[in-house]
């Protein structure tokens, strides 16, 4: 018996490899910095939702208490995408890859800043007022 790959089998293999390449290419060719920034933006979205929810539930807690509760809770399950040794969420401090909660008592709000590779300029910033 002579076993050879037929033309149809070869076409199927090429097709399967092409489809696989389409799914893998965004991850292979997207620069690392862009992936980190996208992750930080997603983390800021999670923080905004969490802070808003805790504002509704803990009406008598101070802004610092709320920021600390949310930061500690989110750090249990979410990792920093840039620096694996740093926390993903911080209060009143910035680290590469972190989301920082800055308490602003004068406006009765929490400012959420997301930092990717640079801690001087946030990738994204949101202000969540307490109503």
Is residue 24 a part of any domain in this protein? Answer: no
Is residue 62 a part of any domain in this protein? Answer: yes
Contact 74, 50 (CB under 8 A): yes
Is residue 38 a part of any domain in this protein? Answer: yes
The domain total for the chain is: 1
Residue range 18-74, pLDDT digits in tens:
888 777 766 666 688 888 899 999 999 999 999 999 999 988 999 999 999 999 999
Who's near 1: CB < 8 A, 6+ residues apart? none
What residue numbers bound the domain in which 81 lies? Answer: 31-129
What's the Cα-to-Cα distance from 24 to each of 27, 28, 74, 114, rounded to whole Å? 6, 6, 29, 27
**63-75 helix and 32-57 helix, angle to the nearest 10 degrees:** 130
């Amino acid at each position: 018996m002579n076993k050879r790959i037929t033309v149809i089998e070869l076409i199927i293999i090429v097709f399967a490899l092409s489809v696989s390449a389409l799914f893998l290419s965004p991850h292979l060719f997207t620069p690392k910095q862009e992936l980190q920034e996208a992750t930080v933006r997603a983390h800021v979205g999670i923080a905004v939702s969490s802070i808003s929810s805790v504002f509704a539930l803990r009406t008598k807690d101070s802004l610092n208490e709320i920021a600390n509760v949310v930061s500690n809770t989110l750090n249990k399950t979410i990792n920093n995408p840039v620096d694996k040794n740093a926390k993903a969420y911080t209060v009143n401090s910035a680290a590469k890859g972190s989301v920082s909660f800055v308490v602003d008592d004068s406006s009765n709000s929490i400012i959420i800043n997301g930092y990717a590779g640079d801690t001087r300029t946030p990738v994204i910033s949101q202000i969540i007022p307490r109503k």
